[in-house]
Amino acid sequence: MKTGKQFLALTLGLLLVLGLFAGCQQEKAPATEPSTEPVTEAPTEAPTEEPTEAPTEATEPATEPEDAVTNVFLQEPEGFFVDTTTGFLRAPGFPDDMSYISVIPTPQNTAVLDMSAEQYEAAMKLSLAAMGQDAEATVESVEKTEVDGYPTVKSVSQLTMSGATFYITDYQIVASQNYSITFADATADGAWADAFDQAAASIDLLKEGETATADFSDLAKYDLSCGLSLSAMDGLAEVETEEESGYDGYMESNDVLFFAVHDTKEELLEAGYSKLSLEQYGRLVSEAYELDAFSTDNLGNLYVTDTDTNDSGEIFYYFTVVQGTDGFWTCYFACYNDLMPYYVSAFSIWASSITAP
């Protein structure tokens, strides 16, 4: 039945999220809780499911639309962290607080734009029954809107399953493919409502070559003695370093370290480099630190990540390079690898705030 197929297409992303949730309730929170604010960019890849319906008509080989969306940026609420098992953004109180955010791409389906609240609720119930889930679903509202200029259906619903009640706001965004972006609040008093609204307002669908702009308003501003400025979590402290250390700037907190190394034009010229682009400098840094090649992230940072083991344990590094008026800077953030889910996105946002003299 065609209508049934539309229902299943509409709820595929949400049901995948709920199905994964049902299997993850007994997960434990990471062994080490962060003492500072964590991840602030949502993952752009989420669990997906292969389409179960074959095309009913022969089609030409698929070609990528000229305006294809290639990535999604979302700045999640303070405290949320990346669940590396599911790709979800979990609430800081997980597993006691099962609230989450998910971003799930599915094949383009414009039919979702014409669904009513009654049809949406019927689709949820039909698919939940097909999954064998003992759940109750009520759709409160469905409205057409836009997200980042793309036609969108915003639905507000309540779902109770496996002893947990979720107040769900879901955005079905129709671009070159569909994106189901779900905010599920599992708190009894809707504690995440305002934070979820703010996160939804940050959604940015990026085409090839486009970058997003992060919001630094809730971050602390640091002006280092070496001349660098950046915004990051509260609680970092600049520490004076000896010249022999090789660092021109250094900050630390209980969980995070920040290092900065300045290569002046004169120093680069003495090394045989008269003119360098930022990309060329990045290649030199990769060779010097034995890193993978730098690439560009959602916020326009030229960056690379790395892990290394020393006497303290396994360390996660986020490197970025910055150009100033007098040469270039190599900057990197570090934390224990166990804390990487809390900081990997935050490091990207903090890096995008760095300004060099």
For the stretch 66-102, pLDDT in tens is 579 999 999 999 889 999 899 999 999 999 999 999 9
More confident residue, 163 or 35: 163
End residue of a domain, out of 155, 177, 207: 207
Say yes or no: 256 and 338 in one domain: yes
Tokens of 231: 């915004």
| Confidence at residue 130, expressed as pLDDT on a 0 to 100 scale | 78
Q: Phi/psi zone of residue 148: left (φ > 0), alpha (ψ -120 to 50 degrees), beta?
A: left
Tens of pLDDT, residues 100-127: 999 999 999 999 999 899 988 888 888 7
Distance CA 27, CA 247 (A): 40
Say yes or no: 247 and 176 in one domain: no
Say yes or no: 45 and 150 in one domain: yes
Distance CA 170, CA 25 (A): 21
Say yes or no: 332 and 231 in one domain: yes
> Quick one: 166 exposed, middle or buried, by C-beta within 10 A (0-12, 13-18, 19+)?
buried
pLDDT grade, residue 25 (50/70/90)? very low
Say yes or no: 32 and 119 in one domain: yes
- Host domain of residue 333: 220-352
Query: Is a pLDDT exceeding 90 seen at residue 300?
Result: yes
Split into its structural domains, the chain has a count of: 2
pLDDT grade, residue 57 (50/70/90)? very low
**Which H or E element spans position 221?**
strand 220-223
Q: What is the DSSP letter of 35?
A: S
Say yes or no: 19 and 93 in one domain: yes
Say yes or no: 174 and 297 in one domain: no
What average pLDDT does the segment 12-16 reach? 50
Q: Which of 344, 336, 17, 319 is nearest to 168 (CA)?
A: 17
Is residue 6 a part of any domain in this protein? yes
Query: Is a pLDDT exceeding 70 seen at residue 56?
Result: no
End residue of a domain, out of 146, 181, 207: 207
Say yes or no: 203 and 248 in one domain: no
Say yes or no: 199 and 231 in one domain: no
End residue of a domain, out of 151, 174, 207: 207
Mean pLDDT lowest for which of 64-68, 261-265, 351-355? 64-68
Contact (Cβ atoms closer than 8 angstroms) between residue 169 and residue 147:
no
Say yes or no: 144 and 253 in one domain: no
CATH number of the domain encompassing residue 285:
3.40.1000.10
